[in-house]
C-alpha cells in the first residue's frame, strides 16, 4: 500500500464511511472501507483539503467486541412525543460479537464514532445508520489503515463556499 496510518484515528473522518468484513479470527479483524476521509493536516495527505480515500484496508489488532445494541424504531404518539415499543436489549460477550460480525459481513455505514483510551487500549463507540442501525462498543490494541489512492475531495469540502 502506498499510504498507511497506525493508531492515528484523529486523522480520519468516519461519518458515512462504509465498512465490510474481510476476515475475523477472534484476535484480529480485517475490513475494507469506502467513503473514508482523511484530514488535510494528516501526514499521509499531500493535498490542501480533506480527501476521500478510494478504498482502504483496515486491521484492528487484538479486537474485543464489548457490546451491541440494536437501536429502536421510534414513532410519534397523538401528542407528538416520541416513543418506542422495541425492547432495549444490550448484548455483551459472545452474542455481541456474533451480532457485530453478522452486521459487518453485510456492510455497515458509520454515523458516529467516539474514540477514547482505556487501560492502554483504544475504545470505539460506533453508531451506524442505513438498513440496520445499532450502537456497539469495541476495543483494540492497534488500528492500521492502508490505501493506495485518493478518490476526490471529501464530501463536506465540496459544499464549502
pLDDT greater than 80 at residue 26: no
Alpha-carbon distances, residue 124 vs 42, 112, 136, 142 (angstroms): 20, 10, 8, 12
7: three-class secondary structure by DSSP: coil
pLDDT at residue number 72: 79
pLDDT greater than 90 at residue 1: no
The partner residues of 21 in beta bridges, in order of sequence, read 31
Averaged pLDDT for residues 27-45: 97
72-107 confidence digits (pLDDT tens): 777 888 998 888 887 788 999 999 999 999 999 999
Averaged pLDDT for residues 12-36: 95
Cβ density class 23-61: b for 16+ within 10 Å, e for less: ebeeebbebbbbbbbbbbebebbeeeebbbbeebbbbbe
Q: For the whole model, what pTM was predicted?
A: 0.89
pLDDT greater than 60 at residue 161: no
Alpha-carbon distances, residue 156 vs 31, 32, 74, 110 (angstroms): 24, 22, 29, 16
CA distance linking residue 94 with residue 80, whole number of Å = 38
Confidence of residue 142 (pLDDT cuts 50, 70, 90): very high
48-77 confidence digits (pLDDT tens): 999 999 999 999 999 999 999 988 777 888
Report domain extents, the chain. 3-153
pLDDT at residue number 132: 78
Query: Which among 32, 60, 25 has a CA at the least distance from the CA of 148?
Result: 32
Confidence of residue 7 (pLDDT cuts 50, 70, 90): very high
Average model confidence (pLDDT) for the chain? 93
Amino acid at each position: 500500500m502506498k499510504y498507511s496510518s497506525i493508531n492515528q484515528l484523529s486523522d480520519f473522518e468516519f461519518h458515512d464511511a462504509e465498512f465490510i468484513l474481510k476476515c475475523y479470527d477472534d484476535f484480529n479483524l480485517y475490513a475494507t472501507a469506502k467513503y473514508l476521509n482523511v484530514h488535510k493536516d494528516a501526514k499521509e495527505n499531500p493535498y490542501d483539503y480533506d480527501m476521500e480515500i478510494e478504498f482502504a484496508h483496515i486491521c484492528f489488532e487484538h479486537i474485543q467486541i464489548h457490546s451491541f445494541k440494536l437501536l429502536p424504531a421510534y414513532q410519534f404518539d397523538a401528542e407528538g412525543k416520541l416513543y418506542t415499543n422495541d425492547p432495549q436489549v444490550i448484548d455483551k460477550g459472545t452474542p455481541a460479537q456474533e451480532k457485530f460480525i453478522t452486521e459487518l459481513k453485510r456492510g455497515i455505514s458509520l454515523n458516529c464514532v467516539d474514540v477514547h483510551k482505556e487501560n492502554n487500549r483504544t475504545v470505539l463507540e460506533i453508531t451506524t445508520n442505513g438498513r440496520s442501525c445499532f450502537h456497539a462498543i469495541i476495543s483494540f490494541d492497534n488500528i492500521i489503515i492502508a490505501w493506495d489512492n485518493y478518490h476526490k475531495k471529501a464530501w463536506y469540502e465540496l459544499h464549502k463556499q
